[in-house]
Amino acid sequence: MSQGDSSFNPPRGMRDFYPEDMAVRNAIFNAWTRAATRFGFQHYDSCVVESLELLKRKAGEEIVDQIYTFTDKSNRELALRAEMTPTLARMVAARQGSLSLPLKWFAIAQCFRYERMTKGRKREHYQWNLDIIGEPSVAAEAEVIATAICALGLLGLAKTDFRIHFNSRAILSLLLESIGIPAQHHQSTFLVLDKRGKISSEEMQTLMTSSGLDRQNIDKIFSLAEISTLDQVFEKTGDSPAACQQVLKFLELANVMGIKDSLVFDISVIRGLSYYTGIVFEGFDAGKSYRAIFGGGRYDNLMSDIGGSPMTGVGLGFGDVVVAEILAEAGKSCIGTQAETTAIGFMEDKQQITAVSIASALRRKGTNVDLATRNEKPKSFFSRTGKLGFKQAIYIGPDDIIASSVRIKDLATRNERIVPISEILA
Ligand code: HAM
């Protein structure tokens, strides 16, 4: 089979990570971990296999049809997790009573969804999850969004490169109430409204009719989608209801945190997962030419819905796929795979022992070293090490042995310094 033969490809939608891809992935994981740590989140993890029972829920959510399921040899119905949130809820419920709240946890979880393959969507992705459980105030929303913004900064994006669009399902409920839609229709209406732009208005109408809404109500719901500012919302609801006060408090905290300029009120942000109850949000590139970079919101009923004691939750999921596309377009993902490593090569077998001694001494002192396993012509050594993005190189020839010193070359600046071999071995 020849190179590039399709039989060597991973299954559709799954990815291999060659060293250069792994360098990008590591840079993203590092930014996520550094931001989460800077904001006081604790790391947790779980197995990628989950019981199907936990993931089963009401119809209407796209994710339900995307779950990879299988039966094990004892006929247990299992699934590959499609998201981390139900697992987090299960883990917290398993220790409810013994965890001190609010807890702030983060995970980097590989998730599987049988998705239609489009730009920014794979059938497997890594998702950074940041969640705060047990904090009813919007300080939690401000905190998780500020952490995500910190990660975007660590990845090299400027404030002007992205925007966080937010809305509130609690406010949407007030608006639906104000036009006479009873509460039992709200959740299904959110899920239909979330499909705006993805399916036609006629299809949306059919879905709303089948959930029991009449034509007049449907028209009124469509007119709500025309709202474009918070002031327009407050004209209809006043600003005294708790849901409105929460949004104002959220904006006040965001202002003090220096992230308010990145926030945009957007009535079309509803989110496709049914468990959200309050503020919902999605991060986008400034031109909105990619899918959401991250998305999340408040989910105050999920813990009790899965059978645990009631506990509030706020969190977000931030995938590796979209942000990698954005970084690549901005020319920011050319991270050298060996940026911290010194390459050592030698011209003839006679210099191999010296090369091995130098490499061993440097490694003992904590330097990362890539040591050549065979002799090499200087041209081939410098072309290979140049391509792999090493920090510096030591190439040993017969003259160096006679001089008892080596030249350490900085591969970025091309500057060389001569160092006695005895000094390195000391
Ligand atoms: P989600 O919006 O379904 O939310 O996914 C969050 C993020 O994961 C998306 O914005 C995107 O970056 C990434 N993502 C999702 N599906 C794919 C895919 N097929 N390919 C590539 N990237 C993808 C959730 O999953 C919620 N559980 C987030 C959350 C945590 N809410 C509260 N806590």
DSSP H/E element including 156: none
83 lines ligand 1 (CB under 6 A): yes
**How confident is the model over 173-224, as pLDDT tens digits?**
999 999 999 999 998 899 899 988 889 999 999 999 998 999 999 999 999 9
The span from the CA of 148 to the CA of 141, in Å, is 11
The answer to whether 77 touches 52, Cβ cutoff 8 Å, is yes
> Which residue among 321, 325, 326 is best mutated to probe the pocket of ligand 1, counting the most ligand atoms within 8 A of its Cβ?
321
51 phi and psi, to 5 degrees?
A: -75, 140
50 lines ligand 1 (CB under 6 A): no
Give pLDDT, residue 62: 83
Calculated CA dihedral for residues 74, 79, 81, 82, nearest 10 degrees: 180
The span from the CA of 228 to the CA of 266, in Å, is 7
The span from the CA of 381 to the CA of 359, in Å, is 16
CB within 8 A of 231, min separation 6: which ones?
A: none
Partner residues linked to 418 by β-bridges: 407
CB within 8 A of 153, min separation 6: which ones?
A: 159
- The residue contributing the CA closest to ligand 1 atom 5 is 317
CA–chain centroid gap for 251, Å, is: 24
- The residue contributing the CA closest to ligand 1 atom 16 is 121
**How confident is the model over 12-57, as pLDDT tens digits?**
999 999 988 998 999 999 999 999 999 999 999 999 999 999 988 7
State whether the Cα torsion 241-243-248-253 is positive or negative.
positive
**pLDDT(325) > 60:** yes
126 lines ligand 1 (CB under 6 A): no
User: What is the CATH class of 6-329?
Assistant: alpha beta
Token code pair at residue 117: 């393959």
> Which residue among 64, 84, 108, 127 is best mutated to probe the pocket of ligand 1, counting the most ligand atoms within 8 A of its Cβ?
127
Give the residue with greater pLDDT, 355 vs 336: 355
The span from the CA of 320 to the CA of 293, in Å, is 8
**Of 286, 279, 287, 294, nearest to 248 (Cα)?**
279
**Of 64, 42, 122, nearest to 321 (Cα)?**
122
CATH code for residues 341-425:
3.40.50.800
Give pLDDT, residue 339: 75
What strand order describes the sheet that includes 49-51?
Answer: 49-51, 77-80, 69-71
67 lines ligand 1 (CB under 6 A): no
**How confident is the model over 130-184, as pLDDT tens digits?**
999 999 999 999 999 999 999 999 999 999 999 999 999 999 999 999 999 999 9
292 lines ligand 1 (CB under 6 A): yes
User: pTM (2 decimals)?
Assistant: 0.91
The span from the CA of 425 to the CA of 295, in Å, is 53
298 lines ligand 1 (CB under 6 A): no
Domain boundaries, the chain: 6-329, 341-425
Q: For 184-249, what is the HEC assignment?
A: HHHHHHHHHHCCECCECHHHHHHHHHHCCCCHHHHHHHHHHCCCCCHHHHHHHHCCCCHHHHHHHH
Q: Where are the alpha helices (DSSP H) in 15-138?
A: 19-38, 52-55, 85-94
Phi and psi based region of residue 225 (left: phi greater than 0; alpha: psi -120 to 50; beta: remaining): alpha
The span from the CA of 290 to the CA of 326, in Å, is 8
**Of 160, 134, 165, 133, nearest to 294 (Cα)?**
165
The answer to whether 172 touches 142, Cβ cutoff 8 Å, is no
**pLDDT(2) > 60:** no
The span from the CA of 315 to the CA of 41, in Å, is 12
